[in-house]
């Protein structure tokens, strides 16, 4: 158990819908990262937050957004969902903004039908 929690574990929804994925980092970790794992794209970095501020952005679609709240939990919002958004979404956390150990949560498996 990495100490990072993600909810829900599984999510099935229809095209065009909007979903919110939630992540709670390990106790004491200020940095949260979101990654997407799909069969065709592999594991890709989406976005990083540190202590409530956005720090780095990767291949995140405009339909996707994220935020980190004062209690340090983070949410990834996916809207106007398409079939291609079906993937495993990971949240990871680290102590520092440049923490070398990123601990991953169990992931949320999103299926868009």
Partner 1 sequence: AQKITQTQPGMFVQEKEAVTLDCTYDTSDQSYGLFWYKQPSSGEMIFLIYQGSYDEQNATEGRYSLNFQKARKSANLVISASQLGDSAMYFCAMRDIQGAQKLVFGQGTRLTINP
User: Rounded to 10 degrees, what is the CA torsion of 91, 32, 61, 12?
Assistant: 30
Beta bridge mates, 26: none
Instruction: Candidates 55, 61, 65, 95: give the one binding partner 1 (CB under 8 A).
Output: 55
Instruction: Candidates 92, 93, 110, 112: give the one binding partner 1 (CB under 8 A).
Output: 92
**19 or 107: CB nearest partner 1:** 107
33 binds partner 1 (CB under 8 A): yes
Strands 10-13 and 64-68: unpaired
Q: Give the shortest CB-40-to-partner 1 separation in angstroms.
A: 11
3-class state of residue 48 by DSSP: strand
Q: Give the shortest CB-56-to-partner 1 separation in angstroms.
A: 5
Contact at 8 Å (CB) between 47 and 33? yes
Instruction: Candidates 19, 76, 78, 90: give the one binding partner 1 (CB under 8 A).
Output: 90
Output phi, psi for 28, to 5 deg: 95, -15
- Interface residues with partner 1 (CB under 8 A)? 2, 31, 33, 35, 42-45, 48, 55-56, 58, 88, 90, 92, 97-98, 100-107, 109
């Amino acid at each position: 158990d990495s100490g990072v929690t993600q909810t829900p574990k599984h999510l099935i929804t229809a095209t065009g819908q909007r979903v919110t994925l939630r992540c709670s980092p390990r106790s004491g970790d200020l940095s949260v990262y979101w990654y997407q794992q799909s069969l065709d794209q592999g594991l890709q970095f989406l976005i990083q937050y540190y202590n409530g501020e956005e720090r780095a952005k990767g291949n995140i679609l405009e339909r996707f957004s994220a935020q980190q709240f004062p209690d340090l939990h983070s949410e990834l919002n996916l809207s106007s969902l398409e079939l291609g958004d079906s993937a495993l979404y990971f949240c990871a956390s680290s102590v520092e903004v440049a923490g070398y150990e990123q601990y991953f949560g169990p992931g949320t498996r999103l299926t868009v039908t």
